[in-house]
Amino acid sequence: MAAPMNSVGKLLAERSPFNSTSFQKKTRSKLISIPGTRPSVQNGQLLVSTGVTSLDYLLGGGLAVGTVLLIEEDRYDSYSRMILKYFLAEGVVCRHELFVAAAQDNPDDILQELPAPILDDVVIPKPMEQPRLSCDPQDSLDAMKIAWRYQNLPKVQSALASSSRFGHYYDVSKTMDPEIRQAAKCHCFYLPEHSPPSSTTHSPMLESYSALLKSLQEVIHREGFDLTTPMSKSRNILRVGLHSLGSALWGDDLSCHDNPRHRHTLTTFLYGLRALLRSSLSVAVVTVPSHLIQDRALMGSITRLCDNAIALESFNGSERETNTLYKDYHGLLHVHQVPHLNCLASQLPDHKDLAFKLKRKQFSIESLGFSCSLIPAEG
Amino acid sequence: MLAELLQGTDTGGFLVIQDSCSCSGRTLLKSLINAALNREETVHVLCFDVSEEELKDGLKTSVTQRLHIHNAYIDPLGWSDHPAFTVHQFNLVELTHLVKQTSHTKPATLVIDSLSWILRHVSSPAVCKTLQQLKKGGAVRAIIGLLHADMHQRGTVGSVCHLANSVITVAPGTKGDEATAKLTKRSKSGKVLQDEEIFSINEDLTVTVQSKPSNPEHKQSDTIEQQVDPTANLTFNLRLSDTERKAKEKLALPFVFSKEKKTALLHSGPGSGRILYEPDANDDYDQEDPDDDLDV
């Protein structure tokens, strides 16, 4: 019994750190296989995870590449910001590229606050420790008393899991290790740092939104996410996070006045954004402070222009906080729109009354009245 | 919470006092100015709504060298040739220049009386942008603004309060000289604290917090759970005495070999057996996909 165990051990030690088996699944499909994505079971679209597994389930398995998710912010922008951070953290873990734009806080600050992934699911690209063949046998043998046969095996952290696993869990009480974060490429757009050029052409968009759209277009083209360019190297996904569009800090008076002068600036921007996303391998999450926008018709057209739309209503400070029905939850979640991409009917969620709760290791979305999780048991 | 806010907002904080015509927030604003002056801070006041004399009324005269009032009451729109301060000077460059001219070593506190005046003449996005720049820049330590909530549309009030770290909404109280204050404070970590208190302002501009309003407390205090020791109160003994622990450690485990044999097994030479596996085309049988062997 001792000999075969030992030889397998040696074999494992010799392989590259990220492959603990020689198994490779034979794929005959023509879909480009990018880490962190999977095809949808409903319509074959390529899906990415939003970082929140229960939200993935609500959206029909994940966020389709090329679409926009609109999150209507809660009153103090705590939970919508959290979901944006989950989205970006998922991008770092799946090794996608990130594009973050904000007018209020520096995007670097947002990136510093990303939650830490729960480690046994993630491969950290650290240089592997060499198996200790020549070290002092006294120390190495005393280290493990019962499992001493595994002494020399390298510390593999479920390498196969990270490329095939869809959706990770995060611990919000800790921030992501800077090493993991710096492994991912991030493009930032901080509005105060972009001086508005003097616009001579009359554009239906504000300068801030035009600058943002131009910057995004330039990144997509330069980094090769454009689907029109021929496939030269391996493809990756660009995750775009736009914080608080439509707020006064973007120069938009949509959230200030009942009859805004810039009625069509945000809608024009969203139209351009969606066109840009459809022709590239990117996915966007946009948060909008809808509680400040008084014109409901305009809010309706903003919702129609995004493919997925959810609204968060937190109980913080509202009179609902004291309602016994809501005492286990942090707020309500309303799904305003689900996408129908290349199909006639869309998959609506079964439950309409949804409530969310931000737990330390999970952002859970449950149906009100039934305290069961939405995700069906895997089996 | 009102007492904490009076003691001093954090650096880079923006406090908004929302009032309405039924209850004025100016006395609370003056008590905040008073508290700041007592803390040896330099205070710059942009005075739009009321005259300088009315604002100074009640403040201690001894500390006025640290109090700089920029009189925008006389000529806020710059109609005369030499206005003291106009509403169009409300931007980052001018305000930084203004504060730096008369500043002492510590950055100053900026008090705006009132934001409503500025919002009527300057567009809301521009005002919000200036406030955000002031918050981020280092020239001003804290900003306190008075906002008349009934003068503006809900979106405007909401946008300005969205930028604020703390918002105090004053409303008339039940008794004559009392007022209720609804406080909302956003900490840097994103946590939001809410409170409601009844207060009254004394002659010397100090604030007395009376009590919570008469509604019963809805929030329940978190019960601290005692750490229950599971090994207590058992009918069998789970603990080890010293002799028992020593005997446990001396126990020889099965498959524990001597050190030489362990090293021999761990660091064996190249002569031992190896498994060489080359995947065959037939070996790719995927249990989940029954059609895998079809040549489609």
| Over residues A191-218, mean pLDDT | 80
CA of A221 vs chain B CAs: smallest distance (Å) = 31
| Over residues A41-49, mean pLDDT | 84
> Quick one: pLDDT band at residue A270, thresholds 50, 70, 90?
very high
Residue A14 has pLDDT above 70, yes or no: no
Nearest to A3 among B129, B154, B272 (CB): B272
Contact residues, chain B, for A248 at CB < 8 Å: 124-125, 127-129, 159
CA of B217 vs chain A CAs: smallest distance (Å) = 10
Rounded-to-integer distance, Cα B61 and Cα B47, Å: 18
Please give the backbone phi and psi of residue B85, each rounded to the nearest 5 degrees, phi first: -155, 130
Beta strands in B97-243 (DSSP E): 108-113, 140-148, 166-172, 178-186, 192-201, 207-211
Residue contact B186–A141, C-beta within 8 A: no
Contacts within 8 Å (CB) and 24+ apart, B38-41: B38/B63, B39/B7, B39/B8, B40/B66, B41/B66, B41/B106, B41/B108, B41/B109, B41/B141
| Contact present, A279 and A220 (Cβ < 8 Å) | no
> Quick one: pLDDT band at residue A16, thresholds 50, 70, 90?
very low
Structure token pair of residue B250 = 């001396």
Size of interface A-B (CB pairs under 8 A): 117
Residue contact B132–A104, C-beta within 8 A: yes
Q: Which residue has the higher pLDDT, B291 or B274?
A: B274
| Over residues A37-51, mean pLDDT | 85
> Helical H runs in chain A?
2-14, 53-58, 79-93, 107-112, 137-143, 159-164, 178-183, 207-223, 265-278, 296-305
In a 3-state reduction of DSSP, which class is residue B3?
helix
| Contact present, A285 and A83 (Cβ < 8 Å) | yes
Q: Nearest chain A residue to B183 by CA: give it.
A: A317
Nearest to B190 among A10, A81, A253 (CB): A81
Helix orientation angle between A265-278 and A296-305, rounded to the nearest 10 degrees: 10
Residue contact A192–B133, C-beta within 8 A: yes
Strand B192-201 and strand B178-186: the pairing is antiparallel
> Quick one: pLDDT band at residue B96, thresholds 50, 70, 90?
confident
Q: Nearest chain A residue to B259 by CA: give it.
A: A141
Establish how many alpha carbons lie within 13 A of residue A290's alpha carbon, considering only the half-sphere containing its beta carbon: 23
Contact residues, chain A, for B154 at CB < 8 Å: 258, 292, 294
- Chain B residues near any Cβ of chain A (below 8 Å): 123-125, 127-129, 132-133, 153-156, 158-159, 162-163, 184, 186, 190-192, 194, 218, 253, 256, 259, 262-263, 265-268, 272-275, 277, 279, 284, 286, 292
Q: Output the DSSP codes for A263-308.
A: TTHHHHHHHHHHHHHHTBTEEEEEEE-TTT---HHHHHHHHHHSSE
Which of B116, B186, B260, B267 should one mutate to test binding to chain A, selecting the residue with the greatest count of A CBs within 10 A?
A: B267
Residue contact A6–B265, C-beta within 8 A: yes
Nearest to A253 among B123, B158, B218 (CB): B123
CA of B54 vs chain A CAs: smallest distance (Å) = 31
Residue contact B268–A256, C-beta within 8 A: no
| Over residues A3-22, mean pLDDT | 44
For residue range B115-153, list pLDDT tens digits in order: 999 999 999 999 999 999 998 887 888 999 999 999 999
For residue range B30-72, list pLDDT tens digits in order: 998 888 888 888 889 999 988 888 888 878 767 677 888 888 8
Q: Nearest chain A residue to B282 by CA: give it.
A: A26
Q: Which of A202-211, A289-298, B3-12 is predicted with the least confidence, judged by mean pLDDT?
A: B3-12
Query: pLDDT at position B176, please?
Result: 78
- Whether this prediction's pTM lies above 0.90 is answered by no
Which of B162, B167, B188 should one mutate to test binding to chain A, selecting the residue with the greatest count of A CBs within 10 A?
A: B162
Q: How many residues does chain A have?
A: 379
Strand partners, A284: A68, A240
Establish how many alpha carbons lie within 13 A of residue B216's alpha carbon, considering only the half-sphere containing its beta carbon: 3
Residue contact B125–A293, C-beta within 8 A: no
